[in-house]
Amino acid sequence: MSDKEKEGKVLKMFDGSLPVEEDLFDTSHVNHYAWSLAVFMVGLAIWLAIALVNAENQRHALMTKKCADPVFKGDVDMRCMQVVRSRDHWWEHLWYGMTHLGPADQ
């Protein structure tokens, strides 16, 4: 028996233990889609929270008349509305906006 025949028998014997090269680099995108969706939803929640804080800050400034125009009585100073801090902390705006879903009783 030649060396080629012996080598062929050994390779044939271990042929089943070799990985299938077609399936070697297959990947599943299901997990990628789930994580992408989770990251997107967290980003959306953060963006909505920032928008709520800004809206509640301006609403509270209007309600407490912190940005009344000194020249035109009864008008609103729009520059003041952009930079006003109507409460001490941002989380107070978020808490009020999340807990008071309807119009406030006058």
pLDDT tens for 24-79 read: 776 677 788 889 999 999 999 999 999 999 999 999 999 999 988 888 888 888 89
Q: In whole angstroms, how large is the CA radius of gyration of the chain? A: 33
Question: How is residue 35 written in tokens?
Answer: 């994580």
pLDDT given at position 106: 45
Residue pLDDT, tens place only, 4-28: 888 888 877 777 776 777 777 766 7
The end-to-end CA distance of the chain, in Å, is 103
Q: Specify burial of residue 20 (Cβ count, 10 A radius: 0-12, 13-18, 19+).
A: exposed
Residue 1: pLDDT over 70: no
E strand segments, 1-106: none
